[in-house]
Amino acid sequence: MAQTDFNPGRRDALIRLLQLGGVSAGVTAGGLWLSHRDRTAEGPAPANVSHDFSVPLDATRPALAVARGGDPRSLVRRAVGDLGGIRRFISRGDVVVIKPNMAWDRAPEQAANTNPEVAAEMVRLCREAGAKSVVVTDVSIHDARRVFERSGIAPAARAAGATVPLPEPHRFREVDLGGDVLHGWPVFQPFLEADKVINLPIAKHHSLTGVSLGIKNWYGILGGERRRLHQRIHESLADLAAFMRPTLTVLDAWRVLLRNGPTGGNLEDIVPARTLIAGTDPVAVDAWAARTWWNLEPSALSYLNLAAARGLGTPEFDSLRISVSTCCDPPSS
């Protein structure tokens, strides 16, 4: 395989810039399409800030690391280790925000949310690297208090040393996403104040996009009427991928929701894949998972091709250096 990575630079400072933006927990009502919203009643134009949290390119390291077998904690450590270890991504004193999929009022075995053990282990790794603080959060679809607890993620993350703030309305800031269809939109504040951001999605089916993986997980940084984004879902996903470029993507595939996503609920729709994929190329991570579990080629996923056209990664993951490790199967659970 070729040994090409994709990984651009860092973000700019943003506290001063955020002072220019208005507080918003919603979007303007009415029938206008989201890219042409009337801001006359919103006050100053929203701040436009950079959110490139990625780390420098290292051509000597794999772009993707696939770990199979073992327990969820060992999967995280093996995959991140194969990419060069957590200290490649997290430095002492960093404020780290971990973004699991924590959207649905579902128990862990229903595979609608990220596995809590995967989330907790990422917290532990970041703390071991000397992070000043680790935040684990999401903007849930169902009631956030119930989702955070029932998913198992909040208690597991807190036990590992993270804070888990709820997406309260006063904690959103209006930001210019700078997209083709997404412009001013309320963004949950922790993602605007981080030094590093780790995307921690789960692999599952989605009725509109075919799959819900890493890039789709960025919907959970937004407030407002997110269902309106479905009108041009592929373009909005590419806009989000350009706006929020993570330090690392770690895709939980301990259990994979093959059908009836993204909410799930039926255990018969789930396969116990016992796999985790970590990568510095978010487009390649999604492409690898889509082909592996849904037999979907990148050409079938419009949002991936739009993201690739913007230089955000490559869907042709076969051209990248990939590390694959396999361990013994764990006890059934």
User: Per residue in 73-109, pLDDT tens?
Assistant: 999 999 999 999 999 999 999 999 999 999 999 999 9
pLDDT of residue 50: 57
Strands 95-100 and 133-136: parallel
Side chain identity at residue 220, one-letter code: G
Is the pLDDT reported for residue 39 higher than 80? Answer: no
Q: Is the peptide bond before 262 cis (omega within 30 degrees of 0)?
A: yes
Is 29 or 77 the better-scoring residue by pLDDT? 77
Mean pLDDT of 192-216: 96
- HSE value, Cβ hemisphere, 13 Å, CA-based, for 35: 13
Q: How long, in residues, is the chain?
A: 333
Nearest to 114 by CA among 69, 63, 58, 75: 75
SS3 content of the chain, % helix, strand, coil (to 5): 35, 20, 45
pLDDT of residue 222: 97
Residue showing tokens 């060069």? 84
How far apart, in Å, do the first and last CA atoms of the chain sit? 35
Side chain identity at residue 263, one-letter code: T
User: Per residue in 133-166, pLDDT tens?
Assistant: 999 999 999 999 999 999 999 999 999 999 999 9
Is the pLDDT reported for residue 28 higher than 50? Answer: no
Residues 6+ apart with CB under 8 A from 208: 230, 233
User: Per residue in 267-320, pLDDT tens?
Assistant: 999 999 999 999 999 999 999 999 999 999 989 999 999 999 999 999 999 999
pLDDT of residue 150: 98
Is the pLDDT reported for residue 116 higher than 70? Answer: yes
Nearest to 18 by CA among 247, 191, 167: 191
Residue showing tokens 């009337």? 38
Domain layout of the chain by residue ranges: 15-28+43-326
pLDDT of residue 56: 86
Query: Which of these CATH numbers, 3.30.70, 3.40.50, 3.50.70, 4.10.410, describes 15-28+43-326?
Result: 3.40.50
Please state, for a pLDDT cut of 90, what percent of the chain lies above it.
78
Residue showing tokens 């404020």? 95
Cα–Cα distances (Å) from 330 to 254, 272, 273, in that order, read: 11, 11, 11
pLDDT of residue 29: 32
Q: Give the least confident one: 3-17, 36-50, 186-200, 220-234.
A: 3-17
pLDDT of residue 89: 98
pLDDT of residue 137: 98
pLDDT-based confidence at residue 44 (cuts at 50, 70, 90):
very low
Q: What are phi and psi of 204, to 5 degrees?
A: -155, 165
pLDDT of residue 49: 56
Mean pLDDT of 60-85: 97
Q: What are phi and psi of 126, to 5 degrees?
A: -65, -40
Q: What is the CA radius of gyration of the chain?
A: 18
pLDDT of residue 47: 52
Mean confidence (pLDDT) of the chain: 87
pLDDT-based confidence at residue 228 (cuts at 50, 70, 90):
confident
